[in-house]
Amino acid sequence: MDQFKGKELDLGVFGVWRESVPDRLWIKASGLKLRFCTNETQATREKFVKKLQGMGFDISVTEVTAPAPAACRILKERSLRPHLLVHNALVPEFAEIDKANPNCVVIGDAAENFTYANLNEAFRVLIGMEKPVLISLGRGRYYKETDGLKLDVGAYMKALEYACDVQAEVVGKPAKMFFESALAEMGVPPQQAIMIGDDIVNDVGGAQRCGMRALQVRTGKYRPCDENHPHVKPDAYVNNLAEAVDVILQQL
């Protein structure tokens, strides 16, 4: 489980989770459909799910929407062969993708793989294309680990965008397409879905732009200044996850 060490779990939920397992069970008993939406790109879904299972959740891989599989669908649909600049632990997600003679670059939170040599290599692949295609697994600015703050994939995405004068296609929250594919997998229209998350922009704003309602929990990444956010206003605030579950179940 080293790949999660110190990095806060990045997770939004259609339904609820975090502090306590019973909340999740209430949701499950209610018959509501549940989906876990994460921007995690430092591990495969398999490892991600094992981590949650270790915390007591009976979650399965098929309940998780994550950037790498979403990117794989795009790659297949458009016959794109990626040059990967991603975390070693994520590479297995791309096992079935043809990577010979690349015609696009896929960038994730590569962490230690963000070396000078690897960045130059990804850049050369991009700049060598007639029309550069850059797919980014998220657009996060930074995150916190036990040994301090780290630049996230968004910063390196911006570096490549600027160098190649190209705009990246972002897969993951808050991209509309990412929420839409999660809804499609659930077979639920956006008007009937509620997003619960702690990130005002990626969770709440992204879901709302997709036509969903969204609750912000006042835990995790939440900061009081979020309540004065210039662009995003949640449909409601809840102090914690238990309260979110109550709110949802009361309205059934």
Closest CA to 226 of 194, 197, 190: 197
Q: In the complex with a second copy, which residue's Cβ is closer, 28 or 124?
A: 124
How many whole angstroms separate alpha carbon 207 and alpha carbon 238?
17
How many whole angstroms separate alpha carbon 90 and alpha carbon 227?
35
For 186, which DSSP code? H
Phi/psi of residue 82, each to 5°?
Answer: -85, 145
Binding to a second copy in span 134-163, by CB under 8 A: 141-142, 148-152, 154-156, 158-163
Pairing of strands 35-37, 12-14: antiparallel
Q: Which stretch binds a second copy (CB under 8 A): 26-34, 81-89, 119-127, 213-221?
A: 119-127
How many whole angstroms separate alpha carbon 128 and alpha carbon 157?
17
Q: In the complex with a second copy, which residue's Cβ is closer, 67 or 154?
A: 154
Q: Which stretch binds a second copy (CB under 8 A): 2-10, 59-67, 83-91, 108-116?
A: 108-116
Q: Among 77, 116, 224, 231, which residue sits at the site for a second copy (rule: CB under 8 A)? A: 116
* Residue 201 beta carbon to a second copy: minimum distance, rounded to whole angstroms: 12
Q: Contact between 130 and a second copy (CB under 8 A)?
A: no
Q: In the complex with a second copy, which residue's Cβ is closer, 160 or 193?
A: 160
Q: Contact between 165 and a second copy (CB under 8 A)?
A: yes
- The token pair that represents 41 in the structure block: 């790109």
Q: Among 88, 115, 167, 239, which residue sits at the site for a second copy (rule: CB under 8 A)? A: 115
Binding to a second copy in span 3-62, by CB under 8 A: none
Closest CA to 67 of 192, 202, 200: 202
Per rule CB under 8 A, count of chain residues that contact a second copy: 28
Other beta carbons within 10 angstroms of residue 170's beta carbon come to: 20
Instruction: Return the bridge partners of 83, or none.
Output: 105
Give the binding site for a second copy (CB under 8 A).
Answer: 111-112, 114-116, 119-120, 123-124, 127, 141-142, 148-152, 154-156, 158-165
